[in-house]
Amino acid sequence: MMQPTSQPVTVPTCAVSAARRRLRVPFLLVIALPFLGVCSASTGSLKGAVDDEPRVIRVRVEESDGDSNVPFARVPKYVTVWMDSDAASEEVMAVFDAYDDEIDDGDVGSVDVILDGPKRATLSSGEGIHVTVEMVDELVDAQHDDAVLEYRREAYPVLPSVSLVLAPTDFGGVVAVADGYRDAEGIEVVNVVSGDFYLSRDEVNENHLITTAREELVHLVGSRFQLRGAVVSGRGPLELIVAPADEEAVRRFVARDPVAGPMGSVVVEASRRHAS
């Protein structure tokens, strides 16, 4: 009885290729499906979102270049909106509200609203943070406050801050404005400037006890001498700018004052400007 012999089975090459194509298509679909929903908002749609809002002057949308070459990456865009100087709080709020979804989705990295005029009062937010009515009200109040020459508030997860430039005032006036933010929610850094007076309070990166001690010394020097400026923060030296006639006396005073010891380096220099 003859035994059947096994013969190799030859599959046509065209059949193999067709089978591979049939397998490749669903495989590629599986790979691509997670990315099919990644569709960033276009520059045109972001501009158009507020173009017709009341008091809007112009809109600029910029894109970060950092991740533009990464396939399927969602590259955030940065929106700047200029509005009339007399824009009301609800009009400003409407602009921020228009980008809420895009901020949450990561399509928009930041939104800056700048009120027209020389002080360029600005409110900036992003990275998942949404502005509040209180922030917008403060922006509008600063715009109409003659004592404020420049204003910028940044509402972000890391180091949220507010910075102001004031009309001429003394160190007490600078401190009074900074004190207004002492218990403010969502602010970790406060910078206030008026002429040669500069005060920075940083609750994250500085020892606030040093800053407080330096403020006390500046008040003390100002009560006894002609203080024309001071640079006060928790970093670097404390700088005191005094009338030339008082320079040496202030140096001696600081050298023997016990409060000056724990606060680090103190630099005393004479003002080169005439007192106003």
Provide the 8-state DSSP code for 104.
Answer: H
Spatial separation of the C-alpha atoms in residues 74 and 67, rounded to whole Å: 8
**Residue 256 falls within a domain, yes or no?**
yes
pLDDT at position 14 is 41
Cβ pair 79, 59 in contact under 8 A: yes
Residue 136 lies in a domain: no
Does residue 173 carry a pLDDT above 90?
Answer: yes
276 in the same domain as 178: yes
Residue 118, domain CATH? 3.30.300
Distance CA 63, CA 216 (A): 46
Of the chain, the percentage scoring pLDDT greater than 70 comes to 78
Q: Contact 84/57 with Cβ under 8 angstroms?
A: yes
For residue 126, the enclosing domain spans 39-131
Question: Which one is predicted more confidently, 6 or 64?
Answer: 64
pLDDT (mean) for 138-166: 97
Q: What is the Cα–Cα distance from 238 to 260, expressed in whole angstroms?
A: 10
Q: Give the whole-angstrom CA distance, residue 235 versus residue 264.
A: 9
167 and 66 both lie in a single domain: no
Q: Where are the beta strands (DSSP E) in the chain?
A: 56-63, 77-83, 108-115, 122-126, 148-155, 161-166, 189-194, 197-202, 227-232, 238-242, 266-270
Amino acid, res. 191: N
115, 131, 147: which is the final residue of a domain?
Answer: 131
Provide the pLDDT confidence category of residue 194 given band limits of 50, 70 and 90. Answer: very high
The answer to whether residue 12 sits within a structural domain is no
Q: In the β-sheet with 108-115, what is the strand arrangement from edge to edge?
A: 56-63, 77-83, 108-115, 122-126, 148-155, 161-166, 189-194, 197-202, 227-232, 238-242, 266-270
Q: What angle do CA 47, 139, 118 make, to 5 degrees?
A: 80
What pLDDT does 38 receive? 53
The answer to whether residue 95 is domain-embedded is yes
Looking at residue 268, its amino acid is V
Q: For the whole model, what pTM was predicted?
A: 0.80
Mean pLDDT of the chain: 84
Amino acid occupying residue 210: I
Do 58 and 106 fall into the same domain?
yes
Instruction: Give the contacts of 109 (CB within 8 A, at least 6 positions apart).
Output: 64, 76, 77, 78, 126, 127
